[in-house]
Amino acid sequence: MKATTWLGGTNFEFGDVADPDVGPDDVLVRIGTVGVCGTDVHITQGLFPSTPPKILGHEASGEIVDVGQNVNRDRIGEMVVLNHSTSCGECENCRTWTVSRCERNTQVAAFFAELASVPAVSAVPVLTGLDVEIASITEPASCCLSGVSRLRIDDGAAGLVIGGGMMGLMTAAFMKTHGVETVAMSEPVAFRRDFAAQLGVDVFHDPAESSLDDFVADLTKGRGLHIAAEAVGKAGLVAKCVELVRPRGQVLMIGVAPVGAPLPVDLYDMQYREVVLQSAFGRGEVFHRTPGELAKLNLDGVISARYALEDTPQAIKDSGEGKGVKLVIKPNG
């Protein structure tokens, strides 16, 4: 099969690699769509730990074209979205933390390729009414849903999301569908603000036009936000979220900061106001129900550009430069 292999830095190699083995409990999937994630970008920038050479890509949907001997052959032809880890349900992490951090995970994501072999349990059927191409965003959406699901949402809550990339958009959308009365977004790019409005976001802040402090003061009559979510991955913006919430307000970390990044906050002020800092990383327990949540949203136009498999390096570059809402690779045309 053809694949694009990351060699380190911004270097990639496109060409033939061995077809994946299909174990007795696996399914073979022809990858239709694989999303470019901020993590892929950060890996090439040295901001997220990863060791080359490897095939990247962990946000995929496609069609089952073969199955292992223990899998019902009726699944051939099924359209699926791929979870990129397995869970045993028995280890310490599964029992006391989250199934997405299973100590016995046997799966490795390598979806910038024409084919992928995954455990059958990781190939989740795409719901009727959800476009299979759009279903490829299930993985990043599930990370946002997991974070939002852990929030306390009070009556009349006002929430802000800083950053209108894919993670910020999904966080804002799920905040709205989970009961946050007024959802605001701070985002400098106009077309992202427009798409956020399509998802139900109520109020917008353009950093080029006013300060975030003044915007929040006006929005909340000086009382501060109930919830502030950081979806960029900058420690300074997390600190700003801490400043902007009211006493006992909640700060949700969705963006992933670089390894070793310190949090520049006034700890006395944070403690005095009893601010809750809620970190979120990964899909938690919600991957299988995320397609149903996506089906409730107006996601027309969420995919801004489609790239051939050999153009993966350009797609990662464009994604890092903030071009579009969601950029995807189409490994099989």
* Whole-angstrom distance, CA of residue 22 vs CA of residue 120: 10
Do 192 and 64 fall into the same domain? no
Residue 109's pLDDT band, with cuts at 50, 70 and 90, is confident
Do 223 and 315 fall into the same domain? no
CA separation, residue 218 to residues 183, 213, 221, 269, 319 (Å): 14, 9, 5, 22, 33
Tell which of 264, 279, 294 closes a domain: 279
Examine residue 198 and state whether it is found in any structural domain, yes or no.
yes
The mean pLDDT of 257-271, rounded to a whole number, is 94
Do 132 and 189 fall into the same domain? no
* Whole-angstrom distance, CA of residue 125 vs CA of residue 152: 31
Examine residue 268 and state whether it is found in any structural domain, yes or no.
yes
Do 110 and 196 fall into the same domain? no
Do 166 and 270 fall into the same domain? yes
Do 241 and 167 fall into the same domain? yes
Query: Which pLDDT belongs to residue 208?
Result: 95
Do 73 and 16 fall into the same domain? yes
Kindly give, in sequence order, each residue whose CB lies less than 8 Å from that of residue 128, ignoring residues fewer than 6 positions away: none
* Whole-angstrom distance, CA of residue 189 vs CA of residue 122: 35
The encoded tokens of residue 297 equal 């949203």
The encoded tokens of residue 104 equal 């016995």
| pLDDT of 83 higher than 80 | yes
Residue 259's pLDDT band, with cuts at 50, 70 and 90, is confident
pLDDT tens string 140-183: 999 999 999 999 999 999 999 999 999 999 999 999 999 999 99
Do 47 and 15 fall into the same domain? yes
The mean pLDDT of 261-280, rounded to a whole number, is 96
Examine residue 311 and state whether it is found in any structural domain, yes or no.
yes
pLDDT tens string 39-67: 899 899 998 889 999 999 999 999 999 99
Do 261 and 325 fall into the same domain? no
The encoded tokens of residue 19 equal 């077809």
Q: What's at 328, amino acid-wise?
A: V
CATH number, domain of 164, equals 3.40.50.720
Do 135 and 194 fall into the same domain? no
Examine residue 146 and state whether it is found in any structural domain, yes or no.
no
CATH number, domain of 27, equals 3.90.180.10
| pLDDT of 84 higher than 90 | no
Strand partners, 12: 6
The mean pLDDT of 127-138, rounded to a whole number, is 92
Check: pTM over 0.85? Answer yes or no: yes
Examine residue 313 and state whether it is found in any structural domain, yes or no.
yes
Domain count, the chain: 2
Do 134 and 155 fall into the same domain? no
Do 156 and 137 fall into the same domain? no
Mean pLDDT of the chain: 95
* Whole-angstrom distance, CA of residue 83 vs CA of residue 116: 12
pLDDT tens string 178-216: 999 999 999 999 999 999 999 999 999 999 999 999 999
Kindly give, in sequence order, each residue whose CB lies less than 8 Å from that of residue 330, ignoring residues fewer than 6 positions away: 32, 33, 306, 307, 308, 309
The domain of 110 spans: 2-141+284-330
